[in-house]
């Protein structure tokens, strides 16, 4: 397979269950390693990254959004966002403002003090989105981010990912959701390794 996703672009990975969408995302996110081939990010083959480059790539470039939200369950909304707020964002007070703004954008304003495990699935995914907004990654990998959500929450997730891509982020989404696919700029079918559509 061969494909490119540019800054400002949103790419849908589609294909039947077991075709390898999650595996591919995991390779892009350096959670798994392909047995052959190269994956270039800004010209560098990321599959050859050592420990340090891998850590820096994850910290500085990558944002992940999972179907099961992947939040720290037993702490608050605010604490989940704190871990993604970069040190360069300065003092704690300033970070607080950045976090508050991100929560506002996902319809969770003022919910910093609530514990994750009391939130609904849709609310948890919106916290995960706010965490991405705070992190400002250049590359977002999303594995069925709307897979467990109702239409209203799915729309929020896609709207925010769209906004992030329009702000210059590259977004790759593995999905079975036709609404998500339609909002993407291009669709890559993992099974037969061909670009089936773009706009
Ligand atoms: N390192 C590996 N070596 C061999 N096979 C693997 C490896 N990693 C995953 N697989 C297999 O590859 C297949 C693809 O799985 P994957 O989870 O990527 O599919 P998917 O397209 O995300 O499916 P779904 O739509 O159900 O999420 C599975 O059968 C899995 O067991
Ligand atoms: Mg999968």
| Residues flanking ligand 1, CB < 6 Å | 15, 17-23, 174
From CA 174, how far away is CA 143, in angstroms rounded?
Answer: 5
Question: pLDDT higher for 188 or 91?
Answer: 188
Percent of the chain predicted with pLDDT > 90: 83
| Contacts with 10 (C-beta within 8 Å, 6 or more apart), sequence order | 161, 162, 165, 171, 173, 183, 184, 185, 186
125: region left, alpha or beta (phi > 0 left; psi from -120 to 50 alpha): alpha
83 — pLDDT class (breaks 50, 70, 90): confident
Instruction: Give the pairing type, strands 170-174 and 186-189.
Output: unpaired
Of the bound ligands, which one is closest to the alpha carbon of residue 16? 1
Per the prediction, the chain carries an average pLDDT of 91
CA of 137 relative to ligand 2 center, distance in Å? 22
Query: What's the whole-number mean pLDDT along residues 79-90?
Result: 76
Lowest model confidence (mean pLDDT) among 9-18, 89-98, 144-153: 89-98
Sign of CA dihedral 164, 170, 174, 177: positive
Sign of CA dihedral 67, 73, 79, 85: negative
Helix then strand count (H, E) for the chain reads 7, 8
CA of 192 relative to ligand 1 center, distance in Å? 15
Task: Report phi then psi at 189, rounded to 5.
Answer: -85, 115
What residues does the ion ligand 2 have nearby, CB within 5 Å?
Answer: 21-22
Question: Which of 151, 152, 195, 199 lies closest to 177 in space, CA to CA?
Answer: 151
Index of the ligand 1 atom closest to the CA of residue 174: 22
Q: Are 191 and 15 in contact (CB under 8 A)?
A: yes
The CATH code of the domain at 1-61+137-199 is: 3.40.50.300
Angle between helix 121-135 and helix 151-166 axes, rounded to 10 deg = 10
For residue range 38-80, list pLDDT tens digits in order. 999 999 999 999 999 999 999 999 999 988 888 999 999 999 9
Q: Are 89 and 81 in contact (CB under 8 A)?
A: no
Q: Which pLDDT does position 69 carry in this prediction?
A: 85
CA of 20 relative to ligand 2 center, distance in Å? 7
Q: Which pLDDT does position 173 carry in this prediction?
A: 97
From CA 175, how far away is CA 84, in angstroms rounded?
Answer: 25
Q: Which pLDDT does position 195 carry in this prediction?
A: 53
Of the bound ligands, which one is closest to the alpha carbon of residue 143? 2
Q: Which pLDDT does position 192 carry in this prediction?
A: 53
H or E element: which one contains 173? strand 170-174
Of the bound ligands, which one is closest to the alpha carbon of residue 19? 1
Lowest model confidence (mean pLDDT) among 53-57, 79-83, 195-199: 195-199
Q: Where are the domains of the chain?
A: 1-61+137-199, 73-135
pTM of the predicted structure, to 2 decimals: 0.90
Index of the ligand 1 atom closest to the CA of residue 32: 1
- DSSP code of residue 84: T
For residue range 100-132, list pLDDT tens digits in order. 999 999 999 999 999 999 999 999 999 999 999
Q: Which pLDDT does position 68 carry in this prediction?
A: 85
199 — pLDDT class (breaks 50, 70, 90): very low
């Amino acid at each position: 397979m061969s494909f490119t996703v540019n800054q400002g672009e949103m790419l849908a990975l589609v294909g039947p269950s077991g075709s390898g969408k999650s595996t591919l995302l995991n390779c892009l996110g350096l959670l798994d390693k392909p047995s052959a081939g190269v994956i270039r990010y800004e010209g560098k083959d990321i599959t050859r990254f050592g420990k340090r480059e891998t850590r820096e790539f994850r910290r500085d470039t990558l944002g992940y959004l999972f179907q099961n939200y992947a939040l720290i369950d037993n702490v608050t909304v605010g604490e989940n966002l704190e871990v993604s707020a970069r040190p360069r964002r300065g003092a704690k007070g300033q970070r607080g403002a950045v976090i508050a703004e991100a929560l506002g954008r996902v319809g969770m304003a003022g919910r910093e003090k609530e514990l994750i495990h009391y939130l609904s699935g849709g609310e948890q995914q919106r916290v995960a989105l706010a965490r991405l907004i705070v992190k400002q990654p250049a590359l977002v990998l999303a594995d069925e981010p709307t897979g467990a959500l109702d239409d209203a929450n799915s729309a929020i997730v896609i709207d925010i990912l769209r906004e992030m891509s329009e702000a210059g982020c590259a977004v790759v989404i593995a999905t079975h959701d036709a609404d998500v696919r339609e909002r993407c700029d291009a669709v890559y079918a993992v099974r037969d390794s061909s670009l089936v559509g773009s706009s």
